[in-house]
Structure 1
Amino acid sequence: MLDGKRYTVVQGEGYMDHMLSMTTTDITWPMEMHGWSWSEVTTDNYQTVFYAVRDIAGDGYDEYSYKHLILMERCTGNVISEYFDDEIDIDENNWISENQYNRMRPASAKLSTSDLTVTMNADNTAVFNYITPIENGGFVDFMSFQKEGASIQYNDTIEEGSAFWEYLVSDMGALFQRRRE
Structure 2
Amino acid sequence: MVTGAGTQERLAAAEAAAGAVRDPELPVLTLADLGVLAGVEVDDAGAVTAWITPTYSGCPAMAEMASDLDAALRAAGFADVRVRTRLDPPWSSDRITPEGRRRLAEAGIAPPGPAPARTAGPVPVSLSVRRPAVACPRCGAADTEELSRFGSTSCKALWRCRACLEPFEYVKEI
Q: Using structure 1 for the length normalisation, give the TM-score.
A: 0.28
For the pair shown, the structure with the greater C-alpha radius of gyration is 2
More strand by share: 1
Q: Which structure features the higher share of helix residues? A: 2
